[in-house]
């Protein structure tokens, strides 16, 4: 999840927020972004695979709940390759509509929905139920995220927040390191990558641009670093995924979530800083 939302070319809002502040595009520093994304994907997969092996070795098994979707042999599912067309459509339309700015996001996601409907047309009698569940899930996600961002807005007004911002801006050496630490800390305090960027960028973008940071590199560092400490237990996405989507508790599920959405992105941020320093 994290490497897709912060990578170059992603239609996720976390990749789009820096654009007006830095005068960049969604494909800023795509070469380094590609290397970091592949690294994060590989490390995250290896870590999860190791956790699965350990769970199986300790006797854990999958247990279905009554609320889980039931699949039968009679269900008509589209071919696997055909099912990735909506994702390809989203990326293709997003690439072709870059001149529309943030409206490119709506165009891309709208195209993805249309293609998904076309792919699943054989089961169109279920569209109503699917759209209803999707809308319900969206409301839950929006509500959780708004609550967390609201918390971040209150935290922004506290003396501790101002002190933390001053401390990270005073970090010597590379402006990119200071920006990475600043965005990571603020995203952690607010519990939201997008909320952290929205709060941090108006404050730090002029400071680090004046310090000589390259806008393309700064965009990518801000995006990647925002996806680290944002995923602490109080994050809206974490709460929604663990509680609403998976029906689990933080005690049982957060270890895997924290590994892939906190530790891996932190390592990815460090890798990006090293690559920018070298190249």
pLDDT in tens, 14-57: 898 899 999 998 889 999 999 999 999 999 999 999 999 998 99
Q: Could you read off the pLDDT of 159-181 as tens digits, one per residue?
A: 877 787 777 777 777 889 988 98
Torsion 40-46-48-50 (CA) sign: negative
Cβ–Cβ < 8 Å for 23, 215:
yes
| pLDDT tens digit sequence for 213-224 | 899 999 999 999
The percentage of the chain sitting over the pLDDT mark of 70, rounded to a whole number, equals 94
CB 151 within 8 A of CB 234: yes
Contact indicator for 192, 230 with CB cutoff of 8 Å: yes
State the Cα–Cα distance between residues 218 and 271, nearest whole angstrom. 14
Domain boundaries, the chain: 2-48+79-121+138-278
Choose among 194, 261, 274, 203: nearest CA to 229: 261
Q: Residue 18: what pLDDT?
A: 92
Give me the mean pLDDT over the 90-119 stretch.
86
d(CA 95, CA 90): 9
Predicted local distance difference test score (pLDDT) of residue 186: 84
- Reference 273, options 191, 183, 204, 190; nearest CA is 183
Helix (H) or strand (E) holding 223: helix 215-226
Ramachandran angles phi, psi of 33, nearest 5°: -60, -40
Mean of pLDDT values over 228-248: 81
CA dist 221 and 215 (Å) reads 10
**DSSP character at residue 41:** H
Q: In this predicted structure, what is the pLDDT of residue 41? A: 92
CB atoms within 10 A of CB 166: 9
Residue 242 is classified by DSSP as: I
Task: Please check the confidence at residue 13 and state whether its pLDDT lies above 70.
Answer: yes
């Amino acid at each position: 999840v994290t490497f897709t939302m912060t990578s170059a070319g992603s239609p996720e809002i976390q990749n789009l927020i820096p654009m007006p502040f830095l005068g960049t595009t969604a494909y800023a520093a795509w070469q380094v972004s590609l290397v970091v994304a592949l690294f994060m994907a590989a490390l995250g997969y290896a870590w999860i695979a190791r956790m699965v092996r350990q769970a199986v070795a300790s006797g854990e098994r999958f247990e279905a709940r009554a609320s889980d979707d039931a699949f039968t042999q009679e269900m008509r599912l589209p071919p696997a390759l055909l099912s990735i067309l909506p994702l390809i459509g989203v990326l293709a339309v997003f690439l072709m509509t870059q001149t529309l700015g943030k409206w490119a996001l709506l165009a891309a996601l709208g195209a993805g929905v249309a293609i998904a409907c076309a792919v699943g047309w054989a089961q169109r009698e279920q569209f109503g139920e699917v759209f209803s569940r999707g809308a319900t899930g969206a409301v839950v996600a929006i509500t959780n995220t708004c609550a967390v961002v609201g918390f971040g807005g209150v935290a922004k007004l506290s003396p501790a927040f101002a002190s933390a911002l001053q401390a990270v801006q005073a970090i010597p050496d590379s402006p990119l390191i200071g920006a990475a630490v600043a965005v990571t800390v603020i995203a952690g305090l607010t519990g939201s990558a997008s909320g952290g960027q929205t709060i941090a960028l108006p404050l730090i973008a002029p400071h680090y641009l004046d310090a000589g940071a390259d806008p393309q590199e700064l965009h990518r560092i801000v995006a990647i670093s925002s996806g680290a400490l944002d995923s602490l237990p109080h994050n809206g996405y974490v709460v929604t995924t663990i509680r609403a989507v998976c029906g689990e508790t933080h005690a049982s599920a957060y270890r895997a979530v924290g590994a892939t959405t906190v530790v891996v992105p932190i390592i990815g941020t460090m890798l990006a800083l090293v690559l920018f320093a070298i190249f």
